[in-house]
A and B are shown apart, each in its own frame.
Chain A
């Protein structure tokens, strides 16, 4: 499909896609985890203050 060098073109795109999307997913997941954690701690603080 991409000529005789498909064996190099496809892995190049694949590894670029994988590396960048895994980075994005990890960063996104870290965000949700920390957001929840912070919300939990703030709620706890509110409860302690009342």
Chain B
């Protein structure tokens, strides 16, 4: 006996019987599998990373690359996931699309933050400064601001369902403008070319560096999907609880 049958309430009347239940069933089965996959990939990835030889120019600091680059890649991939969800939210008004969007945002912010933090820690031994306004780091910083703005927007509405369209629209506007931002930051950076060329570019990639990097990237991806599905599951639960509370309140 599931509470879906009892839920005819709420402003989003697409909270039909099938979709959330089917998703919950899918999530409950998928999450353990994804979690195991994540652990496995991290195990292999970390083993390969720590057994990679010293980089000719960077020494052991190349180890930071194995967690910096995947974080940066995930920061961008998360925004792509959010953009696809935003399309679903706008075009089909699919409630799960909104759930996907708002749960992905904090994860994206975390990956972006980690990209910046590890980038800074990588930069200090490389360039001598904790922060360089090079093209890549600056673009990532702007991306972080975009993420945080979207998170703030999602929390600004009293009624969560009211935030669905605003979030989706601003996500897509951001998606359209992010390439322009990247282009302009590259332009700006070449205008003010610092003396040292950015060494946060991935070094010449022999297979002894490429394989650990790719495995770590897959590990980060698996972690994202695990946490994303878990978060979506939480959000569906929260909406059920909310709907039940409203129903109880009306019973008096």
Contact A8 B125, CB 8 Å, known A16-B114, A30-B234, A35-B237: yes
Within 8 A of A (CB), among B82-121: 106-107, 110, 113-114, 117-118, 121
Contact A8 B110, CB 8 Å, known A13-B67, A15-B117: no
Interface contact B118-A16, CB-CB below 8 Å: yes
User: Does B8 belong to the interface (CB within 8 Å)?
Assistant: no
| B residues adjacent to A (C-beta < 8 A) | 1, 3, 6, 54, 59-61, 63-64, 67-68, 71, 106-107, 110, 113-114, 117-118, 121-122, 124-125, 223, 227, 230-231, 233-234, 237-238, 240-241, 244-245, 248, 251
Interface contact B238-A34, CB-CB below 8 Å: yes
Contact A2 B63, CB 8 Å, known A24-B227, A42-B3: yes
| A residues adjacent to B (C-beta < 8 A) | 2-6, 8-9, 11-13, 15-16, 19-20, 23-24, 27-28, 30-31, 34-35, 37-38, 41-42, 45-46, 48
Sample (26) of A-B pairs whose CB atoms are under 8 Å apart: A2-B60, A5-B59, A5-B60, A5-B125, A8-B122, A9-B60, A12-B67, A12-B117, A12-B118, A13-B67, A16-B71, A16-B117, A16-B118, A19-B113, A19-B114, A20-B114, A23-B106, A23-B110, A27-B234, A28-B230, A30-B234, A31-B230, A37-B241, A41-B245, A42-B244, A45-B6
Dominant secondary structure at the B interface? helix
Provide the bound-state CA to CA distance between A41 and B233, in Å.
Answer: 18
Given contacts A15-B118, A19-B114, A38-B3, 17 further A-B contacts (CB under 8 A): A2-B60, A2-B63, A9-B63, A12-B118, A12-B121, A15-B117, A16-B67, A16-B117, A16-B118, A23-B110, A27-B230, A27-B234, A28-B230, A34-B237, A34-B238, A34-B241, A45-B3
